[in-house]
Amino acid sequence: MMLNRRTLLTSIASTGIGTALFHRSVAGAMVASNEVGVESIRQAEWITGVELTDDERNEILKTVSRTSAAMEKLRQVDLSYNTPMAIQFAPTASATQQSRLNRKSSTLRSVVIELPETEEAIAFLPVHQLSWLIRAQKISSVDLTKIYLRRLKKYGGMLRSVVTLTEDLALRQAAKADSEIAKGYYRGPLHGIPWGAKDLIAVEGYPTTWGLPQFRERELEGTATVAARLEEAGAVLVAKLSLGAIAMGDKWFGGMTRSPWNPRIGSSGSSAGSASSVVAGLVGFALGSETLGSIISPSVRCGASALRPTFGRVSRDRCMPLCWSLDKIGPIARCMEDCALIFNAIHGADGKDNTAGSFPFQWPSKASLDNLKVGYAKSRTAPDADRADLKILKSMGCELVEMSLPRSLPFSAMFSIIDVEASTLFDSMIRDGDTEGFNRWEQSFRAAQYVSAVDYVRVQRARSLLMKQFDDAIAEVDFIINMNDLVQTNFTGHPSVVMPIDYRDRNSVRTPAPVILSGHLNDDERLLAFADAFQAHVSAHQQHPELDTSLGLFNAQQLDLPKGEPKKATPEAK
């Protein structure tokens, strides 16, 4: 019996025979031939130290043949991107849910401000202040929307943060908001506020590209729950914003999305356009998504305030799945209170994403922030007395607890969860060689074929162990601060927030310095309240970049050159 290479590798992984090393060894034994037989398996045995009898080798080939035929039939079944796994990750399944959510909210502080004189000053106002101006009819939603549309057109190309302007939709939604508010129907703090969606969030009538050139014109059926909920809250969608292709990094088919503080470097990813556009004042707020850093990382790079919620608090319906057991949707804004107002509008079950639950949340929060304990790790470079983050915590009356987080498990093995789950979505494109613009995903997706089902389940079991270890580690504290916990909290499902605390100035370039706070599962409300109280002690989030100098360099085609290097004249320009 002879089988081709792809059939054997796919089938032997599905049956769980051997180890990952054995599978790779089979692949190595087949380099010179497109067919595999008993001899190929015998060579793999020699490499791995596994010894089989002739009967066992023949039985493996029989099993592979049956499984491969079944798998080939399964590949013909149309499994859309919106078809989830039957097995769901649910870190807070035992928590008490609510049958009905009360989404009424108000700004935490009394806001009475004058309308700024310049469009730029208006554009950089936080949501809770824009909200007051709109409700007081100091500015109309249509006028505010036009300000952001002009800024998107002016700076979006330079930052490479905009995939699609939704101008017609935005003006219709803004006009509707103005009409409703004039009649006394006020939907809440997001009513009339322009926002941007990471372009893996489907909006009917507009392309949803996932950052891939193959999907540049693709329109998906239906609108994602989060976008529909924001529309119900009265928010105005002005743009679909860039993401690194297939949610990796900051490079997409339009180029590298830039940091507004230093447009010579990328904004990081994969919620690249969301973070960049918020900090550049191109939108009032944005939604991003995170699998392993894609909200936190660009918010750190760009200096945004953001929330990565507890896993399962926000529906991912009609949002590109990268990894069903890790993906989260969250707000990116100019301050923590804005994040709370946005989260209040989008969280909760929808009956479409089975991981999404409805848990209590209210804003302003009534949770007590007295007698808090905050965990931290000592810095190798800065004494505790010199750390700005710890000084603020002490001024707030917090008890600081020196601690460490579990790091004994091999996190590199856990990364295979992402590769395996993501590769199933893009398997047909990989098999067809349709991998233009895949960034580094192509290699990861191909390698994922060599991870056995046995190893995938083993990794998920180790993840359960990590969840127990992490919960035990933070059991005696309310929050942790700047503990380099991005990997742990993504795999365990715990919520985190990020905000700028200061800026580092080097060679006339400003770089945001971040604070990252993490909390307990489903404790998003108290985490946001604490983060908001912390942010009241800093002003970094109120600063914004000056973009016109960079825009001049961009228009002169100088921005992509090394700093100080003049553009070489072309013969036509002489």
Question: Rounded CA gap, 568 and 128, in Å?
Answer: 47
Average pLDDT of span 234-241 = 98
For residues 6 and 380, the model is more confident at: 380
Tokens 């013909």: give the residue: 76
Q: Is the peptide bond before 276 cis (omega within 30 degrees of 0)?
A: no
Share the mean pLDDT of the chain. Answer: 90
Alpha helices in 217-306 (DSSP H): 225-232, 272-279, 296-302
Query: What class is the 123-354+364-407+464-555 domain?
Result: alpha beta
Per-residue pLDDT tens digits for 357-368: 999 999 999 999
Q: Compute the half-sphere exposure of residue 409: CA atoms within 13 Å on the CB side of its CA.
A: 23
Select from 261, 428, 245, 415 the least CA-distant residue to 326: 415
Q: Compute the half-sphere exposure of residue 71: CA atoms within 13 Å on the CB side of its CA.
A: 19
Per-residue pLDDT tens digits for 314-326: 999 999 999 999 9
What pLDDT band is residue 566 in, cutting at 50, 70 and 90? Answer: low
Question: Rounded CA gap, 4 and 35, in Å?
Answer: 4
pLDDT of 545 > 90? The answer is yes
Per-residue pLDDT tens digits for 179-199: 999 999 999 999 999 999 999
Question: Rounded CA gap, 267 and 198, in Å?
Answer: 14
Average pLDDT of span 237-260 = 98
Per-residue pLDDT tens digits for 375-390: 999 999 999 999 999 9
For 153-222, give the DSSP string: HHHHHHHT-EEEE-HHHHHHHHHHHHHHHHTT----TTTT-EEEEETTB--TTSB--TT-GGGTT-B-SS
Alpha helices in 207-360 (DSSP H): 225-232, 272-279, 296-302, 336-346
What pLDDT band is residue 4 in, cutting at 50, 70 and 90? Answer: low
Structure tokens at 287: 């939604």
Find out whether 412 and 438 touch, Cβ atoms under 8 Å: no
Give me the percent of the chain exceeding a pLDDT of 90. Answer: 76
- What is the model's pLDDT at position 518? 98
In b/e form, how buried is each residue of 461-485, taking b as 16+ CB within 10 angstroms?
ebbeebbebbeebbeebbbbbbbeb
Select from 162, 91, 15, 142 the least CA-distant residue to 326: 91
Alpha helices in 53-166 (DSSP H): 54-75, 119-123, 127-135, 141-159
By CB atoms closer than 10 A (0-12, 13-18, 19+), residue 132 is middle
Question: Rounded CA gap, 140 and 133, in Å?
Answer: 8
Structure tokens at 197: 């969606």
The angle that helices 336-346 and 524-535 make with each other, rounded to 10 degrees, is 160
- What is the model's pLDDT at position 50? 67
pTM here? 0.89
Choose from 430-434, 484-488, 503-507 the range with maximum mean pLDDT.
484-488
* Pick from 78-87, 262-271, 402-411, 422-431: least confident: 78-87
Give me the percent of the chain exceeding a pLDDT of 70. Answer: 88
What three-state secondary structure class fits 573? helix
- What is the model's pLDDT at position 16? 46
In b/e form, how buried is each residue of 375-403, taking b as 16+ CB within 10 angstroms?
bbeeeeeeeeeebebbebbeeeebebeeb
Using alpha carbons, list the distances in angstroms from residue 453 to 86, 231, 431.
15, 41, 20
- What is the model's pLDDT at position 105? 87
Q: Domain residue spans in the chain?
A: 1-77, 123-354+364-407+464-555
Find out whether 1 and 17 touch, Cβ atoms under 8 Å: no
- What is the model's pLDDT at position 51? 79
Alpha helices in 401-475 (DSSP H): 411-414, 416-425, 427-431, 441-448, 453-473
What φ, ψ does residue 300 adopt, rounded to 5°? Answer: -65, -50
* Pick from 306-310, 445-449, 567-571: least confident: 567-571
pLDDT of 568 > 60? The answer is no
How far is CA 208 from its chain centroid? 16
Tokens 């800093």: give the residue: 538
Within 8 A by CB and 6+ apart from 53, the residues are: none
Select from 92, 123, 101, 128 the least CA-distant residue to 113: 128
pLDDT of 13 > 80? The answer is no
- What is the model's pLDDT at position 49? 63
Within 8 A by CB and 6+ apart from 286, the residues are: 195, 196, 197, 198, 241, 271, 273, 274, 275, 277, 278, 331, 332, 333
Question: Rounded CA gap, 414 and 459, in Å?
Answer: 6
